[in-house]
Amino acid sequence: MLAQAGEIAVLTGAGISAESGIPTFRGLGGLWNGRAPLSLATPEAFAHDPQLVWEFYNWRRELVAQAEPNAGHRALVALAGRVDRFTLITQNVDRLHQRAGSGDVLELHGNLFEVRCTGCHRTFDQTGITLPALPHCEACGHLVRPGVVWFGETLPPGIWESAEAAVRRAGILLVIGTSAVVFPAAGLVAIARGAGRTVIEINLEATPISDEVDLVLRGQAAEILPELLNRLSPPPLAAT
């Protein structure tokens, strides 16, 4: 199927970064396990206790900065080079796809390393910079917030439209390591199905979309993706 697809779209979630040591959100050991997402990942939570929210995000920034992309992230870079057109859509904010070498990643939920001023709304790229507990804007002095999408917020302008167009267009949508319960991201599956596209799920466990997709590959993304790549015919040799 992949060899004949021509164009492939991919939607990833926290599961693809699990082998890099980044905890997922749901399930045992998950980031939300024992924590209420609404007390940490909403604009109201930030307004109520910005210090607590920043401590949580600084901890996550450090965790991710120390992590490395895994074989699953790398296999997607290689897959992109083997098809006519490839769109990588992620819910992850860890930037591990980019560090593995993927370009043009559609980050539906923003990322941990861009921060945004709550006053003048300027964004700053703070990759590799250790932030104080409550960082303030260099330009206007207002409190700066993580550049991620919180519950109840809209997605970054243009990103959703590009993701939607890609899943309608591409012959195959690969859905990797997501519990498929957070919308609108999870809605991309129904959009692809509605457009008559083939959907393949790669996940350790069953999810609400498992019964709706064309094919389920059960297991770790970091094992399944390299294996899929191995089974594709080798790329043509460059002319000498």
Positions that interact with ligand OAD (CB under 6 A): 13-15, 18-19, 24-26, 30, 37, 41, 91, 109, 149, 151, 177-179, 182, 202-205, 207, 220-221
Q: Which is nearer to ligand OAD, 198 or 220 (CB)?
A: 220
For the record, the structure tokens of 86 come out as 């490839």
141 by DSSP, 3-state: which?
A: coil
| CA angle (231, 192, 79) in 5-degree steps | 25
Q: Which is nearer to ligand OAD, 85 or 216 (CB)?
A: 216
Comparing every residue's Cβ against ligand OAD, the nearest one is: 15
Q: Please say whether the beta carbons of 89 and 188 come within 8 A.
A: yes
Q: What residues contact residue 74 under an 8 Å CB cut-off, 6+ apart?
A: 100, 101, 226
56 by DSSP, 3-state: which?
A: helix
Q: Which is nearer to ligand OAD, 21 or 141 (CB)?
A: 21
Residue 121 known to be catalytic:
no
**Closest distance of CB 104 from ligand OAD, Å:** 19
Q: What is the dihedral of CA 212, 179, 208, 34, to 10 degrees?
A: 180
**Closest distance of CB 186 from ligand OAD, Å:** 8
**Closest distance of CB 24 from ligand OAD, Å:** 3
Q: Give the integer Cα–Cα distance in Å for 12 and 211.
A: 18
Q: Which is nearer to ligand OAD, 58 or 85 (CB)?
A: 58
**Closest distance of CB 211 from ligand OAD, Å:** 14
Q: Please tell me which residue in 48, 73, 97, 109 is annotated as part of the active site.
A: 109
148 by DSSP, 3-state: which?
A: strand
| Residues classed as catalytic | 109
